[in-house]
Amino acid sequence: MNDTAHAMPVEETNIDYDVEGYRRDFPILSEQVHGKPLVYLDSAASAQKPRQVIDAVRYVYEHEYANVHRGVHYMSEHATEAYEGARTKAQKFLNAKHAHEIIFTRNSTEAINLVAATYGRRFLEPGDEIIISIMEHHSNIVPWQMVRDEKGLVLKAVPVSDDGEFLIDEFKKLLTPKTKLVAITHTSNALGTVTPVAEITRLAHDVGAKVLIDGSQAVVHMPVDVDALDCDFYVFTGHKLYGPSGVGVLYGKEEILNAMPPFLGGGEMISRVTIEESTWAGLPNKFEAGTPMIAQAIGLGAAIDYVSEIGMERIAAHEQALLLYATQQLTSIPGLKIFGTAPGKAAVISFALGDAHPHDIATIIDRAGVACRAGHHCAQPLMDRMGVPAMTRASFGLYNTRADADALVEALEFTREFLG
């Protein structure tokens, strides 16, 4: 937070935002942990599920389950309709032009691997350059290292400032005519930094590079419009968006997806198979070999409905107010240092508390019912950059309240005392 933000009085959360009502949609939030009410501040790792999602998944299995795209019978038709309905919901959620530009994957990791393994193998040549950033999740680093090693590519990383800001000028310096792909996170999972993806995309396109944006941490905090961004690929995962685990989304521009070879071979992704050769199905089936995650995709559709009904702008406003409040409260704790203070960051606060190790902190506050993530957050290059092996992270979702932030502060005060 900048100084102006610090000085501003924190206003009460908009009364228009019925956070208590939304909390009642999430059954797990009334659970007790070690005899204390659960204070869930780990939504960036995986978000909790509202009743609407749980019910949607149950409804599939109780009323409309069969394999999709295969049967001519009633159940298969209904399951297919629901599954394809989820695709349309994802299309609208991202404002993609066509539903068939939405490919269901297992998660963001698989979506990125799909692009690396198909686009990367087919279209990248030895000496071509890929640009990522130093604050990528391992899932947006390792697939590119793998294709780099296989194809003789060059992998470059954009640095960040001490505050965790994406250094756009450094990015410009790394761009060359050899840059063929830019793969950047939209929001850092460890620091909450929101990157200027529209500008990144424009600059990358100027040198003829394609752009993949990892939106795993972004779609949960803000409205995203892939058409306006003009990115070539956009990925996110369902379980961080209050949906089931086991389903993710790869958005790709139609003409690029059409040019790409298939990822996995098998059923559903073919047009015709003889023992000698096969021809591929059209989009999106070409990239969805085998029986897909039917109920999970339908559950993701329900999650998209849920957040859309509340409104991503309203969720963002609620979380930003909470971020400001939590930041102010946390900085009052002696010895607490926040990592990542880029302007406009998302509601994620990673911090150090004196010399205390994040694992000790997380274990101790857990006994007060407070769930935080401790570790390297699958972002070891960023940990190296910040000079720490690990951080403790509190991440906020649509259901978190000031009381949650207060409980965190109280638990940290106790931790400080306890560890002495």
Partner 1 sequence: MLDDLRELYQEVILDHGKSPRNFRDVEDATSHAHGANPLCGDQLVVYLRVDEGGKIEDISFVGKGCAISVASASMMTELVQGKTVVEAKEMFRRFHEMCTRDDVVDDAGLLEDELEKLNVLSGVRAFPVRVKCATLPWHTMSAAIEGKDEASTEA
376 binds partner 1 (CB under 8 A): yes
d(CA 311, CA 307): 6
Residue 231: active-site member: no
Query: In the set 106, 358, 386, 400, which binds partner 1 (CB under 8 A)?
Result: 358
337 binds partner 1 (CB under 8 A): no
d(CA 312, CA 318): 10
Query: Per-residue x/- mask for partner 1, residues 388 to 417, rule CB under 8 A?
Result: -xx---------------------------
**With CB under 8 A as the contact rule, which of the stretches 100-108, 122-130, 195-203, 359-367 interacts with partner 1?**
359-367
* Residue tagged 């004196």 (tokens): 354
Comparing CB distances to partner 1, the nearer of 280 and 414 is 414
Which CA distances in Å does 211 have to 24, 61, 115, 144, 199? 39, 38, 11, 13, 11
* Residue tagged 């306006």 (tokens): 228
380 binds partner 1 (CB under 8 A): yes
Which CA distances in Å does 265 have to 121, 243, 291? 16, 27, 12
Residues 12-51, interacting with partner 1 (CB under 8 A): 34-36
Comparing CB distances to partner 1, the nearer of 368 and 409 is 368
Comparing CB distances to partner 1, the nearer of 248 and 369 is 369
Closest CA to 370 of 30, 41, 25, 26: 41
d(CA 233, CA 400): 31
CB of 26 to partner 1, least distance (A): 24
Query: For residues 381 and 157, is the Cβ–Cβ distance under 8 A?
Result: yes
CB of 390 to partner 1, least distance (A): 5
53-85 in b/e burial notation, b at 16+ Cβ within 10 A? bbebbebbeeebbbbbbeeeeeebebbbebbbe
CB of 362 to partner 1, least distance (A): 9
User: CA angle, corner 285, sides to 148 and 181, nearest 5?
Assistant: 25
CB of 353 to partner 1, least distance (A): 12
- What is the CB neighbour count within 10 angstroms for residue 327? 20
d(CA 44, CA 373): 9
| Strand ranges in 253-317 using DSSP code E only, listed in sequence order | 270-273, 278-280
Number of residues that bind partner 1 (CB under 8 A): 23
**With CB under 8 A as the contact rule, which of the stretches 5-13, 176-184, 331-339, 364-372 interacts with partner 1?**
364-372
145 binds partner 1 (CB under 8 A): no
Comparing CB distances to partner 1, the nearer of 176 and 363 is 363
419 binds partner 1 (CB under 8 A): yes
385 binds partner 1 (CB under 8 A): no
**With CB under 8 A as the contact rule, which of the stretches 15-23, 186-194, 233-241, 355-363 interacts with partner 1?**
355-363
Query: In the set 367, 381, 385, 413, which binds partner 1 (CB under 8 A)?
Result: 367
Instruction: Give the three-class secondary structure for 234.
Output: strand
Closest CA to 192 of 82, 333, 345, 305: 345
Comparing CB distances to partner 1, the nearer of 122 and 359 is 359
Comparing CB distances to partner 1, the nearer of 23 and 376 is 376
Contacts (Cβ under 8 Å, ≥6 apart) of 204: 131, 175, 179, 182, 210, 211
Query: In the set 307, 364, 372, 412, which binds partner 1 (CB under 8 A)?
Result: 364
Query: Which residue numbers are catalytic?
Result: 378
| Binding residues vs partner 1 (CB under 8 A) | 34-36, 355-360, 363-364, 367-368, 374-376, 380, 383, 389-390, 418-420
